[in-house]
Amino acid sequence: MTMTITTSTSIYGTPHVPPLLNSCFVPAPIFFSISSLSLSPTPPRPPPSSQFLCFSATPSDMDTTVAQTLYPLHRCKTLHLVRHAQGIHNVEGEKNHDAYLSYDLFDAHLTPLGWKQVHNLRKHVQASGLSKRIDLVITSPLLRTMQTAVGVFGGEAYTDGIEATPLMAANAGNSDHSAISSLNCPPFVAVELCREHLGVHPCDKRRNIKEYRPLFPAIDFSLAKNDDDVLWTPDVREKNEEVAARGLKFLSWLWTRKEKEIAVVTHSGFLYHMLSSFGNDCHPTVKSEICTHFANCELRSVVIVDRSLMGSDSSTTNYPGKIPHGLDLPSDVAGKLQENNANK
């Protein structure tokens, strides 16, 4: 498994796990580098450093010449990573951590403040032109992430007569929010791999898929293999290293998608443990830009690079040249060839 990832310097919001083979993360413009979901994945064994380092230099001798890397464009994907907006569990859990054990917070929905955060990020996404570039929106299948995803990347308010299925029905998930249209939007897909820590906390347990479908009619739930939440258990909390391994599995799954620019709306713990696998070969400042916890409704843009031919897409911009065919040896090659011929 060989990937590299880079982050974008455009970050919206306030600002050790085994490494993925041949992978790393770095903030852009520097580039950093489903099968069945297992509740007990085995973390990958760390490979030799030369197999996954993004840069050849160590932090002590890293300068602007050596601390750079270059990859073919068609072997890259741009990811826009978003943590959900403020949920009711964030408020209650900060007051008293034991509140996370309460079933009153089951499948936590956004607070009124959370919806304000969603609207502000939406303004940023539209003003930056990002909304016009995204090919696909992936969301964790919980209320707070789906509300955030459709609120940020969805269409305008839905009205009767629009020939497009609504992304979100009015008042979905105690939102007191108008319906949201799917008109002129990228597809939305719910993916279990990018859920928060599984187990124990009811706020991280999802509803049955059949309950979500009428609330989010235009979200594609076809990748969910079970209607019930069979992944969440009341007495065992997923370990940090298991979340990290699941995150790396999610990144590998992304290479099965044809889309090149993808928004991912997910959770703080999932993002933190997935990203902590990267940046160990970068400057400490770059590492901290990758691996700090996300604020509610923060967006970070990164580039993931395929260094081991995991993806199969060919370039849409490369041009082979020599059409029509003609003599074109570079002068140094032609000179060397002539010299070799003379010496025969």
Q: Is-catalytic flag, 192?
A: no
What distances in angstroms separate CA 209 from CA 109, 143, 227, 229, one per listed residue?
16, 11, 5, 8
Residue 40, CB-side half-sphere exposure with 13 Å CA sphere: 2
**Catalytic pick from 80, 84, 197, 201?**
84
Q: How many CB atoms lie within 10 A of CB 228?
A: 12
Q: Is-catalytic flag, 211?
A: no
What residue has token string 């509610």?
296
**Catalytic pick from 196, 238, 289, 298?**
196
Closest CA to 259 of 105, 93, 133, 104: 133
CA distance 93 to 97: 5
CA distance 52 to 270: 22
CA distance 211 to 191: 16
Active site residues per annotation:
84, 196
